[in-house]
Structure 1
Amino acid sequence: MNISLYGISVWILPIIIAITFHEAAHAYVALRFGDDTALKLGRVSFNPIRHIDPFGTILLPGMLLLSGSPFLFGYAKPVPVNFRGLQPLRTGMIMVALAGPATNIALALAAALAFHILPLVPADGAPWVARNLLNAFSFNILLAVFNMLPIPPLDGSRILVGLLPGVLARPFARLEPYGMLILIGILILLPLAGSQFGLNLDFVSRLLRATTDSLQQLLLLLTGNA
């Protein structure tokens, strides 16, 4: 139980900060491009309470952590955006979608840079602070990479809609209401079906691991930690 409590204590801050800043960035950039929907709902805020989803932010990561899962993930309440209110529409859509992952990369950079001040932390607290920084570094990169997948309703799909010509963007955008089913199919059902035939169809997880590993190495190199 002590190990579990320690594990929770070094994950809770990185997860809450990563998710809160991700959603707040979406809300702030939407406001900058003319849509005040999130502002009216109080989502242009760094107050975690305004963004926390009880299941996605607390229960899901907690269950994964306590079960010893090698893959830790979570999410917050999506920021509502009226894309028709964005000016210009396509640029606004891309920038709003990009804001969340870009903020997570910035947080990962900040965590990596903070590794250099660990010698200044009292010896008793240094291991706990180091673990928080390491978890913040890895979780923010994972959150950014995962959200950049071009699968509805992730940020990458909205960036793709903003880049595609209208004849392709419109039918792709219509997939968003079915996004959660698509994600479950690709992330869970497809790998399970493949395993029945001796096939490894978990290509998304492989892509995530390869991309996050490469990005981690790059950021560690840029911040003098490699």
Structure 2
Amino acid sequence: MAFAPSRSRRGDHRISPVFLGIAAVTAVSGWAVWTGFAQSPGLAVFLFVTSAWIVSLCLHEYAHARTALHGGDLTVGAKGYLTLNPLKYTHAVLSILLPVLFLIMGGIGLPGGAVFIERHRISGRWKHSLISAAGPLTNVLFAVVCTAPFWLGALDGVPAGFRFALAFLALLQVTAAILNFLPVPGLDGYGVIEPWLSYRIRRQIEPFAPYGLLAVFVLLFAPEVGGPFFDMIRAVLGGLGVGDAEVYCGRDLYRFWQETNPNCAELLEVSR
């Protein structure tokens, strides 16, 4: 028996209290970083960057789902994807937990995943490509917003701690956007080009999709690949007005459990 796709209900679009709570943590910790209210600036930066990173992951998945809704998949609402609740994702571990763990351990913007889109409900290759591209484009937009004070030359009056936190957060967004746009099976970049490939090629590539992200990270540990990749990240950030020192101090503050670099600590003291 075939069932018609359920229509969106008002509650399917209501923003989840879970997301609102995460956004509130972002706002309060950001205020603490800006004002220097917290006795430990590193802890405030940690809370601000981590919660803002989770917000960006939620927006990334929301962009996929919202684009799919307009493309013809009406089931995304009933699945809770439009509420921005990270607990509703198909793979909450892959979408939230692993990216946060990689952030804490290595300061890397790991792409998240995933919302389950019923692709058979959507017709048109351009729609399928746009659905895949919507997520990393959200990271691009987030990076542009984070770096706006830098490329606008509007840093006067911005406390050093907040500036460093924005620089580090921008690093995460740029890294996530570039990684996601790689045309590797399992990543959004492959989802962009997949509709344009022949059925035979797609069938041949399909078994490798679960290992695509793992292969990328293994390659990044090789100096021949990781070096040029992170040089590219630095070049993009430099083009947006963000310097290496600001990113470094942002990462240094984020790891509040380690001893703060004297140069970064001095810059914080000068800005107070």
The two structures have a TM-score, normalised by structure 2, of 0.61
From 184, 187, 190, the equivalent of 1:157 is 190
Q: Does 1:181 align with 2:211?
A: yes
SS of the aligned residue for 2:117 comes to coil
Alignment of 1:191-206 (within 5 A): 200=222, 203=225, 205-206=226-227
Deviates more, 1:36-45 or 1:24-33: 36-45
Residue in structure 1 matched with residue 229 of structure 2 by the alignment: 208
Secondary structure at 1:220's aligned position in 2?
A: coil
**Counterpart in the other structure of 2:238:** 217
Question: 1 CA distance for matches of 2:195 and 2:232?
Answer: 23
Residue 92 (structure 2) pairs with residue 53 (structure 1)? yes
Q: Distance in 2 between matches of 1:210 and 1:155?
A: 22
| Alignment partner of 1:145 out of 178, 188, 196 | 178
Q: TM-score, normalised by structure 1?
A: 0.72
Instruction: Assess if the C-alpha contact under 8 Å between 1:18 and 1:136 holds in 2.
Output: no
1:108 alignment partner, SS class: helix
SS for the counterpart of 1:44 is: helix
Does the 8 A contact of 2:45 with 2:165 survive in 1? Answer: no
Q: CA RMSD in A?
A: 3.1
SS of residue matched to 1:31? helix
> In the alignment, is the contact (CA less than 8 A) between 1:10 and 1:128 conserved in 2?
no
Shift of 1:7: 4.8
Report if the CA contact (8 A) 1:53-1:76 is conserved: no
**Pairwise mapping of residues 68-83 of structure 1 onto structure 2 (< 5 A)?**
69=106, 71-83=107-119
Q: Does 1:108 align with 2:138?
A: no
Please give the alpha-carbon distance, in whole angstroms, between the structure 1 residues aligned to 2:135 and 2:120: 20
Q: Unmatched 5+ residue regions in structure 2?
A: 1-39, 243-272
**Larger Rg over CA atoms:** 2
> Which residue is 2:260 aligned to?
none
Measured after TM superposition, the shift of residue 91 of structure 1 is: 1.1
Give the ranges of 4+ consecutive aligned residues of structure 1 lying more than 6 Å apart after TM superposition. none
Q: Does the aligned pair in 2 maintain the 1:101–1:143 contact within 8 Å?
A: yes
Q: Return the alpha-carbon distance in structure 2 between the equivalents of residues 28 and 186 of structure 1.
A: 28
User: Where does structure 1 lack aligned partners over 5 or more consecutive residues?
Assistant: 193-199, 222-226
Percent of matched pairs sharing the same residue: 21
Q: Cα distance 1:136–1:64, how it changes in 2: closer, same or farther (>3 A)? A: closer
How far residue 148 of structure 1 moved from its aligned partner, in angstroms, is: 1.0
Which one-letter code corresponds to 1:180 in the other structure?
P
